[in-house]
Amino acid sequence: MSFNIENASLTHANGFVALSGITLSAAAGERVAIIGPSGAGKTTLLRLLGAALRPTTGGLSLLGRDPWALPVGELRSLRARIGVVHQAPPLPQRQRVVTAVLAGRLGQWPLWKSIASLLYPLDIAGARAVLARLDLGDRLFDRCDRISGGQLQRVGLARVLYQQPDLMLADEPVSALDPSLARQTVRTLIADAEARGATLVASLHAVDLALAEFARIVGIKDGRIAFDLPAAEVSEVLLRDLYASECAGAAELPTLANEPRFAAHVVDAGPVTQGARCR
């Protein structure tokens, strides 16, 4: 079992209920896509799986351990086995791409190695290899503020590929990429997970991409699981229902083709812009 959430709920400090009564589990090597309207709780669910947020109630086990029952040192080594691709890549502006990628293994490296690698990058070949898989091999020594938003998002992905985690979590990993690059990049992620037998959980805005590339689809709405089905069994009706409030009366579902994209940092849009996604 890669992870197991049992009847977990999460209420933010301001009283907002982000998740309620979530029960979800995945076997090692499974690949799951999470879909649902903005504000449904996709990011919160991924943060729960990344041991970055603690559930208010309910049980949680990640890679066979309960993260919140572990002492600090063991929690750290558990986290080193979980990789998170953030929607807005959390990379310092003035850091070089090579350093940003190598930082993926800080959880595995001893401190002396982390310091030494700042003076001279210790694994240039490794960083170059993962960047090459994302078509970025030539940006190795560029600074993060000198590359485009789409390239920056792929640097964030390269960091997690370099980390080689057992549980890979991706929050809108391709939101800043054009449709064909998005598809290609998601395939790279899946191939990597497949090759290493790692579990992959990705939240995606583009429903068609999720249905085409992932075997299992979890639909989330208002902090609850709406459905959890093999891709083949997800019907048009279910999808319309899932996005009902967001696209009241609209015909189209969010897909690769009709989604507003090329925004470098699609941060949590919030309820104000929900309608904007529907055209």
Binding site for another protein (CB under 8 A): 50-52, 76-84, 86, 88, 90-96, 98-99, 103-104, 106-109, 111, 114-115, 118-121, 124-125, 128, 137-138, 140-141, 163, 165
Our CB check for another protein shows the closer of 124 and 212 to be: 124
CB–CB of 47/96 below 8 Å? Answer: no
Q: Quick one: 64 or 230, whose CB is closer to another protein? A: 64
CA distance 135 to 75: 34
Contact 101, 128 (CB under 8 A): no
Residue 89 CB, shortest distance to another protein, in Å, is: 9
Spatial CA neighbour of 152 closest among 205, 200, 87, 55: 87
- Alpha-carbon distance of 185 to 259, in angstroms, equals 17
Nearer to another protein, 8 or 78 (CB): 78
At closest approach, how far in Å is the CB of 194 from another protein? 22
The least distance separating another protein from the CB of residue 39, rounded to whole angstroms, comes to 20
Q: How far is the CB of 11 from another protein (least distance, A)?
A: 21
E-strand ranges in 134-209 read 167-171, 199-203
Q: Closer to another protein at the Cβ: 142 or 208?
A: 142
**Structure-token pair, residue 257:** 């083709």
Q: Say if residues 116 and 122 touch (Cβ distance below 8 Å).
A: yes
What are the tokens at 61? 């086990």
State the nearest-atom distance from the C-beta of 65 to another protein, in Å: 13
| Nearer of residues 143 and 216 to another protein, judged by Cβ | 143
